[in-house]
Chains A and B, each alone.
Chain A
Amino acid sequence: MANIASTTASAGTEVTARALRESVFAGLITLGLFVLFVGLKTDQNIRNELILTQRWGLLAIFVIIAMVGRFLMVAYVQPWLARRKAAKAAAPEVAKEESFFSRNFSRIAIVALILYPPVIVALFGIQGSLKWVDNFGIQILIYVMLAWGLNIVVGLAGLLDLGYVAFYAVGAYSYALLSTYFGLSFWVLLPVAGLLAACWGLVLGFPVLRLRGDYLAIVTLAFGEIIRLVLINWTEVTKGTFGVSGIAKATLFGIKFDASKDGFAALMGLPISSVYYKIFLFYLILGLCLITAFVTIRMRRMPIGRAWEALREDEIACKSLGINTVTTKLTAFAMGAMFGGIAGSFFAVRQGFVSPESFVFLESAVILAIVVLGGMGSLTGIAVAAVVMIGGTEILRELAFLKVIFGPNFTPELYRMLIFGLAMVVVMVWKPRGFVGSREPTAFLRERKAVSGSFTKEGHG
C-alpha cells in the first residue's frame, strides 16, 4: 500500500499537467468545430436582409464545458477507473452473496409503486401531486406495459418488430370509436381492444411467417405505417388528423370521477379534484402491467413460451424437434399485440383524445429501444430502462434552470432525442446486452430444489 501511495503522489502533478494540456487541446478543437455553427448565426432582419449575429458568449460556454469535461476526465475519472480495475484484478474472486435488495428487487419495486401515489400526495399536496402521478407515474407505466408486450415478440420469440405502435393504435382507436359510436363502457372494451389487436397481430403474422431479421423488420415497419395512414385517411370513421375527442372516462364500479353529486369526490366526501381520477388510472395501469408481467412469466415456463425462446435461438432445430413454428410465431405476434392493444385502450381513456399523431414510427422506435436497452427478455431490465428513458425525458421538462446558462430560447424538451441517443450509446458501450443481459433459466434439475440456499452460493444455478 505504501509504495502505491508514493507513486500516486509523484504521478499526481504529472497527471494534472497532462490533464491541463489535454483540456486546452479539447478547448481548441471545440472552438474550431463550433465557431461557425454556434459563434455566428445568420438571421433575417425586418428588411429581409441577411445579417450576422455574433454569439461569443454561447460559444465560450461550449468551449468551457469541453475544457472542464476533458480536465475532469483525464485528472480524475481515468485514474479512478484504472485504480478500480487494478483493485478488481488484485482482489481474489469472492463468491458474493446477493444483497437483500437485489434478491427482492421486484417485490420491493411493486410495494414502492403501490405506495407511490399516497406518498406523493402527502409530499406535494393534492394539486401538486398531479404532475408526479401523471407524467412520472402513468406515462412511464404505459411504456413499461408496451415494452413488456413487445418483449414477447422481440425479446422472447426473437422476431424484430418495428411496427409495434400499430397495435397500440388499434387498441386506442378500438376504445375511442366503439365507446363514441356505441357507448360501450371501458371495462367491456378493454378486453375487446386486446382481442382486436391480437387479431391484427395474426393478420400481420401470416404474411411475414417466412421472413426473418432485416426483412421482417422492414415489413413490420410498413405495417405500422399502413395502420397510421388508414387512421389518417379514413376520415368518415376516424375523423382523420383531427382525431377522436371527448372519449368517455373510465368508471370504478359505476362511480364516475367528475364533479357531479354522485361522483367519486362527492361520495367520499373529498374536495373536488382531478387527482383522484389520475390516481385511479395509476393503479389501473399498474394492475395491467402486473398482469402482463405475470402472464409473461407464466408463459415462459409453459411449452409455448419455451418454444418462443427456442425459436429465437434456432428455427431449424425447433422444426426438427417437432415444434410447429407457424403457430409458435403467430401466438407470439398475437400475444404481444394483445398487450399493445390493451395499453392502447388505456392510453385512449387516459388522454380522452386520440389522433394519428400519437402513433408515429418514433413511438415504435422508443418502445423497441427500451426493450433493447433493458436487455431482451428481462422484465426487470426493461422496467428499469423505461423508467430511465421516459422518466429522463420527462425530467427534461423540469430543467428550466438551464435557460439561465443557455439563454431564454433554450428549450430542453427539444434535446429529448439527443439525450435518448446518448443514453443508448452509453448503455450499449458498457452493457452491450442491456441492463440485465443474462437470461434467467426457467427450469432446473429437480434435486436442486432440495438444496438449501447456503450450499448454492458457489455460483451455480
Chain B
Amino acid sequence: MTAPLLQVKAVETYYGNIRALSGVDVEVHRGEIVSLIGANGAGKSTLMMTICGSPQARTGTVMFDGHDITRLPTHEIARMRIAQSPEGRRIFPRMTVFENLQMGASLDNLKHFDEDVEKIFRLFPRLKERQAQRGGTLSGGEQQMLSIGRALMARPKLLLLDEPSLGLAPLIVKGIFEAIKKLNKEEGLTVFLVEQNAFGALKLSDRAYVLVNGRVTMSGTGKDLLANPEVRAAYLEGGRH
C-alpha cells in the first residue's frame, strides 16, 4: 500500500498539565472513510483539533501528504487542503448561506467558485433554497449541511468531520451520512470522521478506531467492529437506529 494521506504517530496532547491523548496512532489512506468512535471525554475532538494544530501535539508527529504538519499554525494546515467541519458546526451566523460558502472558497481563491457552488447545491438542495438566508436562522440539520458544504468549497484532499450527527434527528443524520458516502464514492473524497453515533459511523466507514481515555484500544474494518461484542456492549447497546 502507498503511504497514508494522514498519519498520526505516537501523538500526545496536553491541556496545561492534563494529558488528553497518550500516544495515539491513526492512519487514513486516500479514498477511505475512517471513523473514530469513543465515549464523551475520550479525546476524539482533541485528536481532531491536534490534527488541525490547535492545540499542537506535545510529542509525536502528524504527517499529511508527505509533509510534517505537527508544528504548523492552523491556517497553514488548512492551506494544505485539510478542510474541517468543526464540532458545533461553527457557521457564520450573520452571513448568508451563500456568503458562508464563499468564505469556504477563500483558499481556492474563488477559481472554481461557480462550479463548486453548483456541486454543493446539488448535494444539499436545501441549501440552494436557503441561499439568501442568514446562517444563524437555519435549522440544525441545514447548518450541518452548510458546515460540510463550506468545508468542501476549499476542494479538500481530506475532510475532517467532528460529530456531524450532534443534536440532529435520525432522519437528517441518515441524509448527511448518505451525502458523505456519495462524496466518497463519486469523487474519491477522503473522510476522517469523529462520531458518538457509533452504529451509523461504523456502517459508513471502511475502517474505524475506538478511542478510550486518550488511547486507541481497538481498530479494524467497520464491519468487524460492528460485529465485535466489546464494541457492541460499550457503544451500540440501545444505540441502533
A: number of interface residues (CB 8 Å): 27
Q: In this assembly, does A439 line the interface, its C-beta being within 8 Å of a C-beta of chain B?
A: yes
- Identify the stretch in A46-54, A202-210, A217-225, A304-312 within 8 Å (CB) of chain B at 4 or more residues: A304-312
| Known contacts A314-B90, A320-B84: A306-B103 contact under CB 8 Å | yes
| Known contacts A441-B132, A460-B132: A321-B104 contact under CB 8 Å | yes
Q: In this assembly, does B114 line the interface, its C-beta being within 8 Å of a C-beta of chain A?
A: yes
User: How long is the Cα–Cα vector from A454 to B76 in the complex, in angstroms?
Assistant: 46
User: How long is the Cα–Cα vector from A461 to B54 in the complex, in angstroms?
Assistant: 37
User: How long is the Cα–Cα vector from A317 to B52 in the complex, in angstroms?
Assistant: 12
A135 CB contacts on chain B under 8 angstroms: none
Which positions 409-461 of chain A face chain B at CB distance < 8 Å? 439, 441-446, 448, 460-461
For A303, give its contact among B74, B99, B106 (CB under 8 Å). B106
Contact with B along A293-333 (1 / 0, CB 8 A): 00000000001001101100110111111111100000000
A322 CB contacts on chain B under 8 angstroms: 75-76, 78-79, 106-107, 154
Contact with A along B49-87 (1 / 0, CB 8 A): 000101000000000000000000011101100011010
Do A444 and B92 touch (CB < 8 A)? no
A206 to chain B, nearest CB (A): 16
Q: In this assembly, does B188 line the interface, its C-beta being within 8 Å of a C-beta of chain A?
A: no
Do B78 and A320 touch (CB < 8 A)? yes
Do A325 and B75 touch (CB < 8 A)? yes
Task: Specify the chain A residue showing the minimal Cβ separation from B89.
Answer: A317
Which positions 86-103 of chain B face chain A at CB distance < 8 Å? 86, 90-96, 98-99, 102-103
Do A320 and B131 touch (CB < 8 A)? no
| Known contacts A320-B84, A321-B150: A310-B78 contact under CB 8 Å | no
User: How long is the Cα–Cα vector from A313 to B178 in the complex, in angstroms?
Assistant: 30
For B98, give its contact among A310, A323, A444 (CB under 8 Å). A444
Q: For chains A and B in complex, what number of residue pairs have CB atoms within 8 angstroms?
A: 85
Q: Number of contact residues on B: which range applies?
A: 20 to 34
B117 CB contacts on chain A under 8 angstroms: 445
For A445, give its contact among B93, B98, B134 (CB under 8 Å). B98
Do B102 and A319 touch (CB < 8 A)? no
Chain B binding surface SS class = mixed
Do B86 and A313 touch (CB < 8 A)? no
Task: Specify the chain A residue showing the minimal Cβ separation from B93.
Answer: A313
Do A443 and B131 touch (CB < 8 A)? no
User: How long is the Cα–Cα vector from A443 to B78 in the complex, in angstroms?
Assistant: 24
A154 to chain B, nearest CB (A): 15
B113 to chain A, nearest CB (A): 10
User: How long is the Cα–Cα vector from A291 to B207 in the complex, in angstroms?
Assistant: 57
For B86, give its contact among A306, A310, A320 (CB under 8 Å). A320
B64 to chain A, nearest CB (A): 14
A115 to chain B, nearest CB (A): 36
Q: Which of A307, A313, A317: most chain B Cβ within 10 A?
A: A317
Task: Specify the chain A residue showing the minimal Cβ separation from B131.
Answer: A445
A439 CB contacts on chain B under 8 angstroms: 94-95, 134
For A317, give its contact among B54, B86, B94 (CB under 8 Å). B86
A443 CB contacts on chain B under 8 angstroms: 96, 98-99, 102
User: How long is the Cα–Cα vector from A448 to B98 in the complex, in angstroms?
Assistant: 12
Binding site for B on A (CB under 8 A): 303, 306-307, 309-310, 313-314, 316-325, 439, 441-446, 448, 460-461
Can you pick out 18 interface pairs between chain A and chain B where the beta carbons lie within 8 Å of each other? A303-B106, A306-B102, A306-B106, A310-B103, A313-B93, A314-B91, A317-B91, A317-B92, A318-B75, A320-B83, A320-B86, A322-B75, A322-B78, A323-B75, A443-B102, A445-B98, A445-B117, A461-B132
Binding site for A on B (CB under 8 A): 52, 54, 74-76, 78-79, 83-84, 86, 90-96, 98-99, 102-104, 106-107, 114, 117, 131-132, 134, 150-151, 154
